[in-house]
Structure 1
Amino acid sequence: MDERTTCIVAGGGPAGMVLGLLLARAGVEVTVLEKHGDFLRDFRGDTVHPSTIQLLDELGLGERFARLPQSRIQEIAFPVPDDRRVVVGDLRRLRVPHPYIAMVPQWDLLNLLAEAGAAEPTFTLRMNTEVTGLLHRGGRVAGVRYRTADGADGALRADLTVACDGRWSTVRRAAGLVPEEFPVPIDAWWFRLPRRADDGLDGLAPAAAPGRFAVAIPRTGYYQIAYIAGKGTDPAIRARGVEAFRRDVAALIPPLADRVDAIGSLDDVKHLDVRLNRLRRWHADGLLCIGDAAHAMSPVGGVGINLAVQDAVAAATLLAGPLRRGAVTPGALARVHDRRLLPTVLVQRLQRLLHRTMIMPILEGRRSGPPWPLLGLLRRVPPLSAVPAYLIGVGLRPEHAPPFARRPAGAHTEPRRAPTAG
């Protein structure tokens, strides 16, 4: 016999876990399906922005989040030829409760959300449960088919299925929803280098050279390096070998040149095929896509997680009532798209502009950093650095926890049951 719930959330990333928690706090029976057995995925985006930290405060989780191991980024600065630096984004100038980006291992954040969800009687998290297809009834999506780690197949019916399963969404593909792809000239590679107390690299530290661009992100005990080069160059990078890659990194980030041997092989360098796309319509009858399943973002600015979480908050705010009433119409789903479309479009346009005007001139050897008129203006008028900081740290339409999901600061809730393994 098929199982049943009210809302299925496919994917246990930040958007899926936030949506599941918020809906459960509204009294909606929600089941989150996560294909992996744990959250220990390396090189996921780990940026938690000021608006997301404020959301955690509103959910009563701020104190527990603050206890997680984390490093904090308060500024984004570029080096300039006179051995000084220009701050292009100063988060300390933001009038928000948490004027910094917290770099937190994503598995810690997801475990925190899972524990909070487990305290709600209508929340279920099923690990090792991969969505493989959709169920239909009367022309609408009526749930999902899934497979567990031991190969057992099952079906779960629901009034609503929400795709939170990323840029390669199985659910989106099964629904026949095809995103519009925008041209992207870059790819990204992620790796780690050791961090020492006397390095002096405490903020985001971009570095540029002809053909290459990198950002050293300070983490607890190491730097997470985002290395940017032209799209389609991964085979050439790997063909040159690890020694050549180490030399490139050492030349690009001289303060870290003495530790590039920590890159043991190119297996330690994870390639990200950067995509920038967006669904024209985020829903079908009985189905909604949010986060990367609705709009894949460039890593420029590190805002993808923030946007996905805000999608989840908007979806919970708009759909909790219809889900409780059993009346989730296509019109109700369209309202999520309408609410989140403008910030999504504007951020993607800004990212495409930055690809064209800042990153590509660097990769083509025409410049070694941002346009000098911009750097000169920020150097003369430092308060302007609050504008990029706001766009990155808060966003164009920040969402706040709906009243039904809020809890007092420091509220403690005991899990009612552990996540199931599928």
Structure 2
Amino acid sequence: MSSPNVPPATGPDDLDVLVIGGGPTGLAVATLLGRRGLRVAVVERHHDVYPLPRAVHLDDETYRILHELGIGERFAAHTRPALGLRLLDGNHRELATFTRKRTTAAGLPQANMFDQPDLERLLRDNLERLPHVTLLGGHELLRLDTSGSATVAARVRRPDGTRAGLRAPCVVACDGANSTVRRQLGLTSDDFGFEQRWLVADVRCDLDLDAWDGVHQVCDTHRAGTYMRIGPDRYRWEFQLLDGETSADYAGLPRLRRLIGPWVRAVPDERLAVLKCTEYTFRARVARRWRSGRVFLAGDAAHVTPPFIGQGLCAGLRDANNLAWKIAAVLRGQAPPGLLDSYEAERRPHATAMVERARAMGLMMTGGGRLATLARGRLVPGLARSRAVRQLLLDSRTPALTPGPRIRESTPRAVRGALLPLVLLPGPDGQPVLVDRVLGDRSAIVALPGTDLAAVPDALPSAWLTIDPQGSAGERLLARWLRDAGVGWVRVDPDRVVSAAGPAGVLR
């Protein structure tokens, strides 16, 4: 920001933050800012939740963010854990199966299947509880004016066609892969050289399909495909389109059956309903700059990934969680403006790593010609027995964040930029609660007994949580994590990222 302390809005028409785009990322940003008392408006061109299914997977790290948003418990009624990943050849013979753990130490499934409209409804309903947040449905952004020294001005078209102006010290652009904001600001993207056309079909079936309850990936150069169960009666298939094909070639159930037949051969037509059958182009791109002055990119506006590891929506929610608390701290004068430089410094390398991982997975499953298909049939079963390969495919942890403006380079590598493990700790009434609820919305020091406050830089005004190594299962896990890393304490920021750590220091 241009000044060390940018006060939050005080006038009745003032905003602290303007969010462009009311999809999951935009709603998450607005919620996290609103829960911190900031005045926020979300400009969204659709009046209601976009009805067609899109994203269908999130991992346990992202599920943790849903709890921070206040919808974690309610989301549980709309999600279905997935067993893992099964690789098939072109004849649907099993090459390898990678089974995930059902739940983590905190009880969250590592792989969660869901219907995006269900998630968006939860997010919208939750947003209505925040008195300082307004969702402007049916509003379209026309242009941004970033020439002001203290605020950004936006011109929007209302549902009735009239125009209005909005102004805020910060703008977060969550307006998708074809971002109007990114284009107006002249921000370009790095293209990772991946572009494939796929057919995506969502089908409702009131019968249980006789199939392994995880993601099926058909590794076939001629016709790669993916199958997954989303809910009690919801299924998704994705198939790579051949040259000259379009989604129109598979319009209607009889034509679609040519592709989904191996899974539904015994199911009569009247038990199947096609909800969506459309073409998507899978790409791998990351914006070169995620910030232009007071405007920040997030979600698909900042990065687009192929879907092969199910991280598209996850990345957007991680952006929201990383950025929101920093904006709030700077606008309130609780942190220097330089903290906002850490957003792109941390999130861009992380998102790039995940995009590259998804691209590599896509090429492994679909790339090459006939010889590549034969090689997969011979090599994959052996690779599947490799502990390193299984760890890569099954471990839901994502890379640590890069050291920079807030994460100290001196922090031991084992915990530097990593997430604090999500565990259950005894709550005030003795019932187990997530450690995040114990820490609250603040930076916190998590330490082993005997750590001297004087040995911890910048400990105040942080909260202090001492872990009992002989206490609850969650405390024992945290104590073991600290000791395995060779540290006595860590500083955890509101997004649960470790930004500093050190030895226990002088014993009391």
Q: Distance in 1 between matches of 2:29 and 2:291?
A: 16
Q: Distance in 2 between matches of 1:370 and 1:301?
A: 18
> Relative to structure 2, which stretch is displaced further, 113-122 or 79-88?
79-88
Structure 1: which amino acid aligns with 2:354?
V
Q: In the alignment, what sits opposite 1:303?
A: 311
Q: Distance in 2 between matches of 1:129 and 1:323?
A: 26
Contact 2:17 2:38 in 1 (8 A): yes
Among 214, 219, 229, the alignment partner of 2:230 is: 219
Q: In the alignment, what sits opposite 2:298?
A: 290
In structure 2, the CA distance between the partners of 1:278 and 1:30, relative to structure 1 (3 Å rule), is same
Structure 2: which amino acid aligns with 1:161?
V
After superposition, give the CA deviation of every residue in 1:142-186 in whole Å (9 maximum; x if it has no partner). Answer: 132111222121111010111001110011111111212221141
Q: CA RMSD in A?
A: 3.5
Q: Distance in 2 between matches of 1:262 and 1:184?
A: 38
Question: Which runs of structure 2 are paired with 1:114-129 in the superposition (5 Å)?
Answer: 114-129=124-139
After superposition, give the CA deviation of every residue in 1:19-53 in whole Å (9 maximum; x if it has no partner). Answer: 11111111211111111011133131122321121
After superposition, give the CA deviation of every residue in 1:47-88 in whole Å (9 maximum; x if it has no partner). Answer: 2321121222344432211123x3221211123689556223
Q: Distance in 2 between matches of 1:141 and 1:177?
A: 20
- What is the SS of the residue equivalent to 2:282? coil
1:365 offset after TM fit, Å?
6.9
Q: Distance in 2 between matches of 1:96 and 1:370?
A: 36
Contact 1:7 1:158 in 2 (8 A): yes
Q: In the alignment, what sits opposite 1:200?
A: 211
In structure 2, the CA distance between the partners of 1:50 and 1:177, relative to structure 1 (3 Å rule), is same
In structure 2, the CA distance between the partners of 1:82 and 1:194, relative to structure 1 (3 Å rule), is closer
Q: In the alignment, what sits opposite 2:56?
A: 46
Contact 2:204 2:273 in 1 (8 A): no
Among 390, 393, 400, the alignment partner of 1:385 is: 390
Q: Distance in 2 between matches of 1:165 and 1:263?
A: 37
In structure 2, the CA distance between the partners of 1:189 and 1:261, relative to structure 1 (3 Å rule), is farther
In structure 2, the CA distance between the partners of 1:96 and 1:156, relative to structure 1 (3 Å rule), is same
Q: In the alignment, what sits opposite 1:339?
A: 346
Q: In the alignment, what sits opposite 2:140?
A: 130
Among 373, 377, 390, the alignment partner of 2:379 is: 373
Question: Which runs of structure 2 are paired with 1:145-156 in the superposition (5 Å)?
Answer: 145-156=155-166
Q: In the alignment, what sits opposite 1:72?
A: 81
After superposition, give the CA deviation of every residue in 1:199-236 in whole Å (9 maximum; x if it has no partner). Answer: 23311112244421111110231311111246xx4x53
Contact 1:133 1:144 in 2 (8 A): yes
Q: Distance in 2 between matches of 1:266 and 1:32?
A: 32
Structure 1: which amino acid aligns with 2:358?
Q
Contact 2:95 2:381 in 1 (8 A): no
Q: Distance in 1 between matches of 2:209 and 2:44?
A: 40
Question: Which runs of structure 2 are paired with 1:18-417 in the superposition (5 Å)?
Answer: 18-68=28-78, 70-79=79-88, 83-84=93-94, 86-88=96-98, 90-92=100-102, 97-138=107-148, 142-195=152-205, 196-220=207-231, 221-229=233-241, 233=243, 235-237=244-246, 242=251, 246=256, 248-250=258-260, 254-258=262-266, 268-325=276-333, 329=337, 331-361=338-368, 366-367=372-373, 370=376, 372-378=378-384, 380=385, 385-390=390-395, 393-397=396-400, 403-404=440-441
Q: Distance in 1 between matches of 2:380 and 2:250?
A: 37
- What is the SS of the residue equivalent to 1:17? helix
**TM, length-normalised to structure 2:** 0.69
Q: In the alignment, what sits opposite 1:411?
A: none
Q: Distance in 2 between matches of 1:114 and 1:240?
A: 36
> Relative to structure 2, which stretch is displaced further, 151-160 or 32-41?
32-41
Gap runs ≥5 in structure 2: 1-11, 401-417, 421-435, 444-508
Contact 1:185 1:355 in 2 (8 A): no
Q: Distance in 1 between matches of 2:19 and 2:247?
A: 37
Q: Distance in 1 between matches of 2:88 and 2:128?
A: 46
Q: Distance in 2 between matches of 1:176 and 1:126?
A: 26
Contact 2:223 2:240 in 1 (8 A): yes
Question: Which has the greater radius of gyration?
Answer: 2
Q: Distance in 2 between matches of 1:174 and 1:153?
A: 18
**Percent of aligned positions with the same letter in both sequences?**
24
Q: In the alignment, what sits opposite 2:21?
A: 11
Gap runs ≥5 in structure 1: 407-422
Structure 2: which amino acid aligns with 1:310?
R
- What is the SS of the residue equivalent to 2:240? strand
Contact 1:358 1:369 in 2 (8 A): no
**TM, length-normalised to structure 1:** 0.82
Structure 2: which amino acid aligns with 1:218?
R
**Relative contact order (C-alpha < 8 Å, sep 6+): which is higher?**
1
> Relative to structure 2, which stretch is displaced further, 37-46 or 86-95?
86-95
- What is the SS of the residue equivalent to 1:367? helix
